[in-house]
Amino acid sequence: MNDVPNPSAMSAEDVSRTVCQRIGQLRQDSGWSLDVLSRASGVSRSMLSQIEREQANPTLAVTVKIAAAFGLSVAELIEQSHVVPNIDVVRASDRTHIFREDKDCTIRTLSPLNLEKDVELYEVRFNSEGILKSAAHFEGTREFLTVQKGTVEITSDQDATTLNKGDSASYKADVPHQIRNTGRGEALVVLVVIYR
């Protein structure tokens, strides 16, 4: 018996979501960066990034260009878009997962992009005296942090605490909060954001 869903029975939103996921999967399977896919398809890098993060729905014209870059028709792309792999890999070399990179810190997304509406997993590498300030997230949001290297200070609203290598903490993230490197060298943390 065939358990694969019929694309014609899927809602337009489901098709759009799975096409976005399929594009990201095809690019990763091909070992292409966003820049390579942009050159091959004629679609801007920023648009491709938004599509893969499901922050933009590709138009038919854009979908045709992207499908052609992979040697597929739109029908083939849509028909295959519902196939979800058992293992979703985020490669260390994949620069599309660099969320932020500046004088304070580098934030790399460790969780698959399609999970970002539920849970987010980040590796945050702080430069000396680096700080990551965040406005309040959605109500009920919490963050969980584990220090892999160095010393950091966490502030959640009016409360603050210092963590050293191996320490972990959870705190409210629906209030203004920040993480600051208080050590002499680089600090490295793993950060999980969970939305209620």
Contact by Cβ (8 Å): 186, 128: yes
Mean pLDDT of 128-141: 94
Write the burial class of residue 13 (CB in 10 Å: 0-12 exposed, 13-18 middle, 19+ buried).
exposed
- Name the CA dihedral angle for 161, 174, 139, 98, rounded to a multiple of 10 degrees: -110
Q: Which domains occur in the chain, in start order?
A: 7-80 (1.10.260.40), 95-194 (2.60.120.10)
pLDDT > 70: percent of the chain = 86
Least confident of 38-52, 80-94, 143-157: 80-94
Beta pairing partners, 4: none
Burial 82-104 (b: 16+ CB within 10 A, else e): beeeeeeeeeeebebbeeeeeeb
Contact by Cβ (8 Å): 188, 123: yes
42 — pLDDT class (breaks 50, 70, 90): very high
Contact by Cβ (8 Å): 150, 183: yes
Residue with tokens 């792309």: 77
Question: Would you say the pTM of this structure is higher than 0.75?
Answer: no
Cα gap 138→151, rounded to integer Å: 28
pLDDT(113) > 80: no
Helices (H) and strands (E) in the chain, counts: 5, 10
